[in-house]
Amino acid sequence: MNALVALCHFCELHGPRTLFCTEALHPPSPTPSQAGAPIPGDRESDREGEGLTMRANSSATQRGDMCEGCRSLPASHPGFVSVDSETGIRFLSHQHPRQPQLFSVVRQACVRSLSCEVCPGREGPIFFGDEQHGFVFSHTFFIKDSLARGFQRWYSIVMVAMDRIYLINSWPFLLRHLRLTIQSLQSTALKVFDSEQCVCPQRAVRMNSVFSPAVFPHQRSGNAARSLPSLTQHTNLWASLHSSFSWLLKACGSRLTEKLLEGAPTEDTLVLIERQTEQEEEMSCWEGAEGGGSRPQCHQSESELYRDFLFDEGKAEGYPGPKFRSLRHLRQVLGTTDFRQLAWHVLMGNQVILRGADPGLIHSAFTMLKALLPVGCVRSVTYSAQYEEAYRCNFLGLSPDVPIPTHVSSSEFSVLVDVVSLERGSLYSAACGEDILSLYQFNISSTNSQPTDKGPTLLNKMEVALSNENLSVDVVSHCLLCLKEEWMNKVKVLFKFSKVDGRGREDTQKVLALLGATGPGEEDNVRLLKFWMTGLSKTYKSHLMTAVRGGERPLSQ
């Protein structure tokens, strides 16, 4: 990550000062013309970098003498260096950045974080910056000091980066981990403060002392010269902060990755990203309420998100026994007629209930059936000991002894598949290569009287692909993905036309004809499109409504 982390301090004598800073040096990509030339990052450039730091330190020293509270490492100190063996990135820590340009940027961030850019209460996170001087995530905090004015000193940790979007997206991650570092410093300093107060209570000493204008500057000068290691009694504090800041830069840089996409992201991708963001926010809220430690976050690529959605992070692999391997395999086991009936209910949004004693088999069946729907239309309870209502889930797995409520069994908006174990079969024989049909019998029941052989059109095309034995499983999977995207585009058009623009029934019928949703199976097509509207992402709906309002604003004016 192209960012820099710095610890800043508000000195009572010299004002805001940078105490410690960690930056990442990326390995260069050499070209043939540069093969014999010294590259940045070798020993010579390290010496040059140290010279820049020395010059920055000397220039700062010329502006005013530095007290112990303003100094972390002396100019002669080589600093701390850590190397990431995987990427070759080096993390360098010293009191000031290596480059003069960064020195002024960090200096400005330091001054602003400890003066004007503070949150209410002067303790907490805040974001500020601009394109010219970079964007800053700042977290201010107090450290207890028995000799300081008000018995506390003011510090801040800032992260400076030029990428505003990246820094904002990293806000929850940075806040959680910086708070751990800050809480560690505060708790250690509090113990030192309590021990010093027990030996010599400063409050009583100050109240009994005589105030004199001539003595006051000398008192401030003596109290201001306490360094952070002396406040925490941590001899290796700077090495510890180097380790913490280096890890933060590495982890923050690897948690989010840029990926070149051809075209706009799919609706499934947007929904999965929204769900992952909601889970992270809920986790942050729980951790904030409980005050406990944090879990490392894992931001995944589009393919990883979709794979984890389908397979629920590999939960089916934990169950013994047979499993469905693909939609084609499921169709072969159930038979053409029963599979079409089951797939019809899935596409229409009806509740699909699988009841049996093998949770692994039920889980694998749901994994295959999920591929028929957009991600936003899937609500599943994989295996439960009690019935869950249809508004909570449209995929429900039940143990064999769970009764089905009367209002559900008599409803045409649900289908029940009883997975009955045959006596001659066993899970052990399945592991030895027995077929699922030799172990289980599948009984499908539904009160729906509507014929399922006409439509919807999407199901007819899916069956053509599944029945073509010349197509491999992977090809069929990509074919189903393309068909879903085709119909999701039709859903977007219908949503914009009917929900956003508010067109009438006659105009909507013309749009359906234009989309190819009329003719045989028209009723099923319309029902499918309306159900799939519920799977549109919040991002798309928000963007659409914003665009519509933006287009209406000039008309009202």
Q: What is the pLDDT of residues 159-185, one digit of tens each?
A: 999 888 888 888 888 999 999 999 999
With residues binned 3-state (H G I as helix, E B as strand, rest as coil), the percentages for the chain, rounded to 5, are: 50, 15, 35
Q: What is the mean pLDDT of the chain?
A: 78
* Residue 316 predicted with pLDDT over 70: no
pLDDT of residue 57: 42
pLDDT of residue 476: 92
* Residue 194 predicted with pLDDT over 60: yes
Q: 383 and 399 in contact (C-beta within 8 Å)?
A: yes
Closest CA to 457 of 520, 395, 501: 520
Q: Torsions phi, psi of 521, nearest 5?
A: 75, 20
Q: Give the N- to C-terminal CA distance of the chain in Å, as an integer.
A: 46
pLDDT of residue 43: 40
Residue 70 amino acid letter: C
Among 96-100, 339-343, 459-463, the least confident range: 96-100
Supply angle C-alpha 406, 408, 409, rounded to 5. Answer: 65
Q: Torsions phi, psi of 416, nearest 5?
A: -115, 130
Among 8-17, 176-185, 461-470, the least confident range: 8-17
Q: What is the pLDDT of residues 104-139, one digit of tens each?
A: 899 989 999 888 887 877 788 999 988 888 899 999
For residue 540, name the pLDDT band (cuts at 50, 70, 90): confident
Mean pLDDT value of segment 193-204: 74
pLDDT of residue 431: 44
CA 130 from centroid of its chain's CA atoms: 25
Q: What is the pLDDT of residues 378-409, one digit of tens each?
A: 998 988 999 999 989 999 999 999 999 999 98
Q: 93 and 25 in contact (C-beta within 8 Å)?
A: no
Separation of alpha carbons 271 and 255, rounded Å = 19
Mean pLDDT value of segment 85-106: 86
* Residue 428 predicted with pLDDT over 50: no
Write the CB contacts of 414 (distance below 8 Å, at least 6 apart in sequence): 345, 350, 351, 352, 353, 390, 408, 446
Q: Torsions phi, psi of 499, nearest 5?
A: -85, -45
Bigger pLDDT: 61 or 22? 22
Q: Torsions phi, psi of 161, nearest 5?
A: -150, 155
* Residue 549 predicted with pLDDT over 50: yes
pLDDT of residue 279: 75
pTM comes to: 0.52
Mean pLDDT value of segment 41-54: 40
* Residue 451 predicted with pLDDT over 50: yes
Bigger pLDDT: 141 or 52? 141
For residue 40, name the pLDDT band (cuts at 50, 70, 90): very low
**What are the contacts of 542-547 at 24+ separation with CB within 8 A?**
544/495, 544/496, 544/500, 545/500
pLDDT of residue 350: 92
For residue 193, name the pLDDT band (cuts at 50, 70, 90): confident
pLDDT of residue 523: 86
Write the CB contacts of 366 (distance below 8 Å, at least 6 apart in sequence): 354, 380, 382, 395, 397
Mean pLDDT value of segment 327-352: 91
* Residue 224 predicted with pLDDT over 60: no
Q: What is the pLDDT of residues 277-303, one digit of tens each?
A: 877 777 666 555 555 444 444 444 445
Per-residue tokens: 65: 């003498």
Among 384-398, 429-443, 487-501, 505-519, the least confident range: 429-443
In the chain, pLDDT over 70 holds for what percent of residues?
A: 75
Which residue intervals of 211-297 are DSSP H helices?
216-223, 228-232, 237-255, 267-290
Three-state DSSP at 433 gives coil
Mean pLDDT value of segment 548-556: 47
Per-residue tokens: 484: 């879903």
Which DSSP string do the residues of 372-417 spell out, in sequence order? TS-GGG--EEEEESS---TTT-SEEEE-TTPPPPHHHHT-TTEEEE
Closest CA to 468 of 335, 372, 370, 328: 328
Q: What is the pLDDT of residues 519-538, one digit of tens each?
A: 777 888 888 988 998 888 88
pLDDT of residue 398: 92
For residue 157, name the pLDDT band (cuts at 50, 70, 90): very high
Closest CA to 385 of 403, 404, 399, 396: 399
* Residue 151 predicted with pLDDT over 50: yes
Q: Torsions phi, psi of 379, nearest 5?
A: -135, 110
Q: Answer positive or negative: Cα dihedral of 227, 159, 117, 57.
A: positive
Separation of alpha carbons 69 and 494, rounded Å = 66
pLDDT of residue 285: 62
Mean pLDDT value of segment 226-239: 86
Q: What is the pLDDT of residues 466-497, one digit of tens each?
A: 999 999 999 999 999 899 888 888 888 888 87
Q: What is the pLDDT of residues 256-270, one digit of tens each?
A: 766 666 666 778 888
* Residue 38 predicted with pLDDT over 70: no
Per-residue tokens: 503: 């067109």
Per-residue tokens: 266: 């799919």
